[in-house]
Structure 1
Amino acid sequence: MTVKVSSIGLRGLEGYRVQVEVRISQDTESMVIVGLPDASVKESRERVLASIAHFDLDVTDKKVVVNLSPSDQKKNGSLFDLAIAIAALKELGEVKREIPLETAFIGALSLDGTVMSGEGILPAIIAAKGLGIKRVYLPYDSVLPLHMIQGIECVVVNHIEEVVQHLEGQESLLSQPHFSSKEHLTPDSDTRQKNFRHVIGHEQAKRALEIAAAGEHNLLMSGPPGCGKSLLAETFPSILPKLTN
């Protein structure tokens, strides 16, 4: 039997769905990862096996084959660790409930099973939402503005055991996320000391800034030191519209 779970891969800031397939069979003890993984993905073998051992599961004399689909896309980073481990635990019978394909797993693992953050978490969450993912398991990170992301359920976990417990319906055992005060900073609460209307002169430059703000154009400032570039740049946000989520 082959178990399939979902994760998210990144091409720059663009995300795509990665189907993590795991099959475990009786054979010479080994773990093989295919699907164009780079060195950072191949290194997940030791982290995943160590995390599985946390559940007192024996993979001796077993061959673990992991396929990351689509196979024509290069995979990089350590954020597939959690998905690989959960698929392996499902294959070994530790996770008994079915895992919906609309559920994704994003996160790196340490040797003791701790789920850790990594580069690309936020773009991955936004990509998951666009791909129709309903729920995503991810590591705790105080700088992620999860309260601003609508339309997708973000389940924050600290340990792979918490993921298994949640999948089995034991939601009360999950740790609750805490966010830093920086996440609650909004354009309204940001006290701007300098306002565009307070700039005297520079009519031609101000006209260019107004056109750039109205049409969402790029803008290049060029001139000698002291001519007012920094002042105009600092006051420019006061005529821009409020940022959306």
Structure 2
Amino acid sequence: MTIGSALSVGLLGLKAFLVQIQAFISPGLPHFSIIGLPDASLSEARERVKSACQASGFRWPDTRVTVNLSPASMPKRGSSHDLAIAASVLSAAGMIPPDQLISSIVLGEVNLDGTVLPIHGLLPIMLHARDHGMQRIVVPAANQDEAKLIDGLEVLCVRHVGELIELLGGNARYTAPTDGPEMIHTTDDTAGFTPPALGDMSEVVGQRTTKWALQVAAAGGHHLLMTGPPGSGKTMLASRMPGIMCPLTPSEQLEVASIRSLCGTLPNYGITDVPPFEAPHHTSSTAALVGGGSGTARPGAITRAHHGILFMDEAPEFATRTLQTLREPLESGYVAISRSKGTAFYPARFQLVMAANPCPCGFAYGTGERCTCRERDRIKYFSHLSGPILDRIDIQVEVPPVDRIATQCNEPVESSRDMRRAVILARTTARERFARFGWSCNAQASGEWLHKHTSDKALTLVNRALESHRLSLRGADRALRLAWTLADLAGHVSPGCDEMSQGITLRTRVS
């Protein structure tokens, strides 16, 4: 009885788990089967692995070959296990010494000619392998740059199954692959995409009040809604918000990079301390926003915006059902997508920034004399942003039109660097204050803590707003968080009446 064994790693969402792959070559009619809950693409590995092994000089046995993926209760998906399946069969047949695969992870998709193709999700896989005491990992050569991002593992990069055999002490006969167009392989729709450079706030004409609101949002991690006519600068302001936010911590950088690795976009970004910025189009489906797809659900825009900004331009144009799916992630900081084969959990701790016109034509501001919309059309347009959604938006600010460029250009302007410096100081104050609670910003503080540590005078203003129904109970807590952020920006130990009044005003500006 000859059993060959190799190790791979599977992903369920961003959660990695070790997969032990065993191959058994037994007497019987020629047959090759893979068991252990493989999905359709993994079941097709039979033909890929068989052809790839033969292209490496291995004579496929004319008997029964059975490959088991353990644990059998966990669903396995994708083609990243191809190379490990090939290694287990080659080990069972004696082409690879069995002891060479101990404490080694083998990853890669194989082609019919034996070439090894890149995979997605390598970064979270490598982090899992390192944390569980693995010593060596075999990855496709095309993933070499990504593999270098993680220390603590011996990395072997291979371009062909024959290279794997030789690196592990066996003998192979194969034609070495040559670099060229035929080696290019990607399933990422953003291949060749270069992230745009961050603009500077100093480039935005006027809008001092809105810039201040953005600074408050960045300092406290607050959600924001901007309402104003077309061309007033809402999109321009939102796209520059990552430039005034705190740089990501090392752990946050790895989380963001792991998500991008799973999505196949990490080569476009690398590991960076710039917060992500996602701006889905208003025609995006619920699955595109939250995540979905057949089999195990894939991450959506809210997960790709983790630790960054999710910008929804023309927010009332989004489908109502799509907007409603944001309610739970905004509170919990993650999204759970259930399928028949399991539930995928993805992080989704993002800042929501929305932009909206005041009406379908966009001119229902000021006197509204240019507006051509009927009253019911205005009501219907903005009603897409339901009360529960608006209640979760901390800052609601109006963006007026800019009508005097020459005068406003002569006014002093604040750069993104200056605004970011103030944001970092405020965030540092909040982080030190909440260190024992594990909160990193005011937006994460609990209502109990806020009520206990806010002065009675400031709480009196909140109670008046509650009594007059200007605020809901959730809105009151969010106004308190805003007041603490304003106090941090002003250098105060705790919010006073002025900060509390400003916090309430920021929440209730949009009618």
Q: Is 1:53 aligned to residue 54 of structure 2?
A: yes
Task: Give the CA deviation at 1:215.
Answer: 3.8
Residue of structure 1 equivalent to 2:141: 140
Listed one character per residue, the Cα deviations across residues 40-78 of structure 1 (whole Å, up to 9, x for unaligned) are 111111111112223443334321111111111111111
Distance in 1, matches of 2:221 and 2:168, equals 45
Distance in 2, matches of 1:236 and 1:98, equals 53
Distance in 1, matches of 2:146 and 2:216, equals 31
Call closer, same or farther: CA 1:73–1:212 in 2, change over 3 Å.
farther
Listed one character per residue, the Cα deviations across residues 150-198 of structure 1 (whole Å, up to 9, x for unaligned) are 333332211011112222299xxx99x9xxxxxxxxx9xx965x32355
Distance in 1, matches of 2:28 and 2:246, equals 62
Residue of structure 1 equivalent to 2:99: 98
Residue of structure 2 equivalent to 1:181: none
Counterpart contact for 2:97–2:170, Cα < 8 Å: no
TM-score when scaled to structure 2?
0.40
Residue of structure 2 equivalent to 1:205: 210
Task: Give the CA deviation at 1:219.
Answer: 4.7
- Per the alignment, in what secondary structure is the counterpart of residue 100 of structure 2? coil
- Structure 1 range deviating more: 6-15 or 72-81: 6-15
Q: Is 1:3 aligned to residue 8 of structure 2?
A: no
Structure 1 stretches of 4+ with a deviation exceeding 4 A read 197-201, 216-223
Listed one character per residue, the Cα deviations across residues 180-224 of structure 1 (whole Å, up to 9, x for unaligned) are xxxxxxx9xx965x3235545434433443244334455555544
Distance in 1, matches of 2:223 and 2:5, equals 44
Q: Which amino acid aligns with 1:209?
A: L
Task: Give the CA deviation at 1:148.
Answer: 2.7
Task: Give the CA deviation at 1:129.
Answer: 3.5
Residue of structure 2 equivalent to 1:16: 17
Residue of structure 1 equivalent to 2:87: 86
Residue of structure 1 equivalent to 2:166: 165
Counterpart contact for 2:37–2:75, Cα < 8 Å: yes
Identity of aligned residues (%): 37
Call closer, same or farther: CA 1:145–1:242 in 2, change over 3 Å.
farther
Distance in 1, matches of 2:133 and 2:214, equals 38
Q: Which amino acid aligns with 2:153?
A: I
Call closer, same or farther: CA 1:145–1:49 in 2, change over 3 Å.
closer
Residue of structure 2 equivalent to 1:241: 246
Distance in 1, matches of 2:224 and 2:218, equals 9
Residue of structure 2 equivalent to 1:196: 201
Residue of structure 1 equivalent to 2:230: 225
Q: Which amino acid aligns with 2:163?
A: E
Counterpart contact for 2:5–2:98, Cα < 8 Å: no
Residue of structure 1 equivalent to 2:154: 153
- Structure 1 range deviating more: 98-107 or 206-215: 206-215
Residue of structure 2 equivalent to 1:180: none
Q: Per residue, is there more strand in 1 or in 2?
A: 1
Higher RCO (CA-CA < 8 Å; seq separation 6+) = 1
- Per the alignment, in what secondary structure is the counterpart of residue 98 of structure 1? helix
Aligned length: 229
Task: Give the CA deviation at 1:142.
Answer: 6.6
- Per the alignment, in what secondary structure is the counterpart of residue 19 of structure 2? strand
Distance in 2, matches of 1:42 and 1:123, equals 24
Call closer, same or farther: CA 1:215–1:155 in 2, change over 3 Å.
farther
Call closer, same or farther: CA 1:60–1:106 in 2, change over 3 Å.
closer
**Structure 1, unaligned stretches of length 5 or more?**
178-186
- Per the alignment, in what secondary structure is the counterpart of residue 60 of structure 2? coil
Distance in 1, matches of 2:224 and 2:73, equals 38
Counterpart contact for 2:56–2:114, Cα < 8 Å: no
Q: Per residue, is there more helix in 1 or in 2?
A: 2
